Amino acid sequence: MDYFYVGLPYVAPKPLLGSSGLTWEYQAGPALLQTLQTGIRDHYKSYRSGNIDKITMPLYLFLSGAGTGKSRNASEFHRTVVECLGDEDEELKNKFRNAWVFHVSLENGSTLRDDETSAFRAVGNRMLLQLLPEKALDQIVTSYEAPDPMEVLRLVAKHEKQELKDATIIVVVDGMQNLMTSYEDGLNAESRFYKTLSSIGDLAHKGAFLLPCCTATVSRPIDQSLRTSNRCRIYLPVTSLEPPVIRQDHGIELAFPIDSSLMKILVEDCGGHGRALEILWNLTRGLNLENCDVGDLMRKLRNNLSQRYKSALPKDEDAKAIVRAILVHQRLINDEHIPNTSKFPDQVVAPGLIRYEEVGQYGYLHVPYIWLWIIAETGGRELLLPGWRFDDYTELLANEDKTLPSNCSWENFEKFNARFRAMKSLALEEGQLTKISEMNFGARLNGDINFVNHHLSVACAVNQTDTRTTEANSVEWIVNSLKESINMRQHRHIVINAKSATASDAFLSLDAQPPTNENHQYKFFTDANISNDLYNRERNIAASNRDFFIFFTTQKTPDNIKLPPNSGIVDQKNWNDYFGPFAGRAFVYGLMGAPNINTADFTTLQLVDGVGPATARKIMVKRKFSSIEDAEEKTKLRWVILEQFQY
């Protein structure tokens, strides 16, 4: 480029993103550091030995779904390269500390202009833009002939009076998917995307020690996103985020106050998705969670994500089938359509919102709560999951139906789990043949029972009920609920037992031959001393030999507990597997118990069935209460509300 006859001085790059999450401490993760360390050491070894070829000079790639943090990883690539190297790599680390680093964005306002006919030279334009920060991209494009990226590097070498072969260079190109015109472009060697990617990779064999790195949002699993090639490619892992932290002058602090159970659930609902966490952070910064409508906050998060990732979400009937597959951990075959859809598993997970766990030729879909909510709404939630409130943060149900979850972090676990089991029954077709191991996937089980699925309603027993199957109740079994008398052998209800019942906490009749029950027992322990004797004692009280008994506890249970036939356990070790996207709230429900009426803050009080802002203020004015009777006398509130609190 003759305009710059003395070359151009190197100018350090700006970050590739300007969002609020940039203030969070970067999370490289051990897998990324290890992958980079191995790749760079091999790369440098080949470079020093003169073994320079596309087989030995790698192209580094961050490929993943939308909003997962590729741009942040790309911005931190130089830093991560230095960090991944050990003390024995001091010479190499020093090279990278003094490297020329170029950040090229093809995102947002830096996408290709209409008059940029070569995408590879468009990369050169944006490298030139970094060296001329006083100019705008449009000025660069219209004022200069688009340069080959190597020409830009020669300008820097000329100004620095350095040979390119002695330079260490990193070129990062972010947003390569914007060069695609088809999801198939990664497999098409003639596509603009593929040709440009190859040309960027070729920069590594032009004489300099150069690390080319690209990011792209992909529409397939990583190993199927690009055409097979002899080129050395290093696929860098993009992992889900842990709760982020911020470095302040006084040290490091959490971005989210996750010592709050409510905030912990909100963060977990985002499932480590970078953009979701960033939006949640923007919504909650400076917000007093003790005095806000958290349900409204999460609806704003949902709406924001829905609009941003509208094209990435499954539609209509596909959405229904996918939600069903997630809720019951439906086993899917890798190379077959998900039942009742025209989609393969890899097509569903491609946008990055849903994960697919492969186990041999099979696999399972996993999704964070916020995405399950969005997908369920897309597919018509009331048709699929009638009565389930996904905005169950402060949405209040001002009625006396004890079977409905009170939509709060401290919801009685029996109610939550009964609703959860009923919801899973709705995820399968009415009359569909299923089995205990499918309906209770994730639990540690001994034995299985085949039965016909029926869509369940939740009821509460008026009286303490013996939940064991006997000859007397095997054909007709009448249980009186708060609303009606129920014949359990019609298999239409899961019933929450009356308080202090010695039998199961919740139970349902399975449409099997012969008829049998599925019985749940919920126990909170302050230690892990759960023995075989204790388990067997609980089982004998709650279930007959032919019933299937499942024991739930928030503690870890010893591995040496021997489960009797037709028995299962859900504990801290398999909690996430069993509850899936609902694991965070289920654990808090099981662990925390009811809120204390004398100490709960304004928002927490409203997280109880039947308590709105006015009632919460009344409680705060009238307390302290010595008992439920004292609270009833002072507040004139109904017993059905007051009994949900601790005193």
pLDDT tens digits, one per residue of 429-443? 899 999 999 999 999
8-state DSSP, 596: B
519 neighbors 547 (Cβ within 8 angstroms): yes
Averaged pLDDT, 176-205: 94
pTM: 0.70
Relative to beta strand 168-174, strand 548-553 is unpaired
- pLDDT for residue 369: 80
Q: What's the whole-number average pLDDT of the chain?
A: 85
pLDDT bucket at 403, cuts 50 / 70 / 90: very low
Residue 54 to residues 43, 206, 230, 234, Cα–Cα distance (Å): 11, 11, 7, 12
Instruction: Give whichever of 176-190, 266-280, 397-411, 412-426 has the largest mean pLDDT.
Output: 176-190
pLDDT bucket at 428, cuts 50 / 70 / 90: confident
- pLDDT for residue 395: 33
| For residue 302, pLDDT beyond 60 | yes
The answer to which of 113-117, 384-388, 541-545 has the lowest mean pLDDT is 384-388
- pLDDT for residue 408: 36
- pLDDT for residue 454: 97
Averaged pLDDT, 595-602: 83
Q: Which one, of 46, 243, 79, 77, lies nearest residue 173 by Cα? A: 77
Q: With 0-12 CB in 10 A as exposed, 13-18 as middle and 19+ as buried, what is 370? A: buried
Cα separation, 272 vs 240, in Å, equals: 5
pLDDT bucket at 221, cuts 50 / 70 / 90: low
| For residue 407, pLDDT beyond 60 | no
- pLDDT for residue 411: 40
Q: CA angle at residue 321 from 320 to 326, to 5 degrees?
A: 100
- pLDDT for residue 594: 65
Q: Which one, of 632, 570, 620, 622, lies nearest residue 595 by Cα? A: 620
| For residue 285, pLDDT beyond 90 | no
Residues 6+ apart with CB under 8 A from 178: 106, 107, 111, 112
Cα separation, 445 vs 144, in Å, equals: 69
Q: Which one, of 403, 291, 410, lies nearest residue 640 by Cα? A: 403
Residues 6+ apart with CB under 8 A from 332: 325, 338, 345, 356, 362, 363, 364, 365
- pLDDT for residue 378: 67
pLDDT bucket at 268, cuts 50 / 70 / 90: confident
- pLDDT for residue 415: 79
Would you kindly state where each structural domain of the chain is located, as residue ranges? 20-235, 242-395, 398-593, 602-642
Higher pLDDT, 146 or 482: 146
| For residue 274, pLDDT beyond 80 | yes
CATH of domain 20-235: 3.40.50
